[in-house]
Amino acid sequence: DAGVIQSPRHEVTEMGQEVTLRCKPISGHDYLFWYRQTMMRGLELLIYFNNNVPIDDSGMPEDRFSAKMPNASFSTLKIQPSEPRDSAVYFCASSSPPHGYTFGSGTRLTVV
């Protein structure tokens, strides 16, 4: 298996633009998680899905953030409009109990 695949690896965008991050989980995993990592706040859980259904989105910072999982092999995290304070590394992870989490390589987002 190729692991959890995220794209793009790097994204530089101007403030106010829409940003879409993509994730392909490991086949057969029924949980998918989106995390954000910054120096100040460490790793924060944004939202997670179980069997393509959003279970907890309490970590989504505000309405500018949205996430979807239209099928078991694809998820998106969208920021619209983007702001400089959204600059961070965004990780996607998938899992299937009793196994642990597998993380993707992350998307480094810079909003200027």
- Using CB under 8 A as the binding rule, the residues of this chain from 35 to 54 that contact another protein are 42-43, 45, 48, 50
Contact between 27 and 96 under an 8 Å Cβ cutoff? The reply is no
Q: Taken in order 94, 5, 35, 53, is the CA torsion positive or negative?
A: negative
Does the protein bind another protein through residue 1 (CB under 8 A)?
A: no
Does the protein bind another protein through residue 76 (CB under 8 A)?
A: no
Q: Which two tokens stand for residue 90?
A: 């965004």
For the bound state, the minimum distance from the C-beta of residue 68 to another protein, rounded and expressed in Å, comes to 19
SS3 content of the chain, % helix, strand, coil (to 5): 5, 55, 40
For the bound state, the minimum distance from the C-beta of residue 106 to another protein, rounded and expressed in Å, comes to 5
Which residues contact another protein (rule: CB under 8 A)? 31, 33, 42-43, 45, 48, 50, 55-56, 91, 93, 95, 97-106
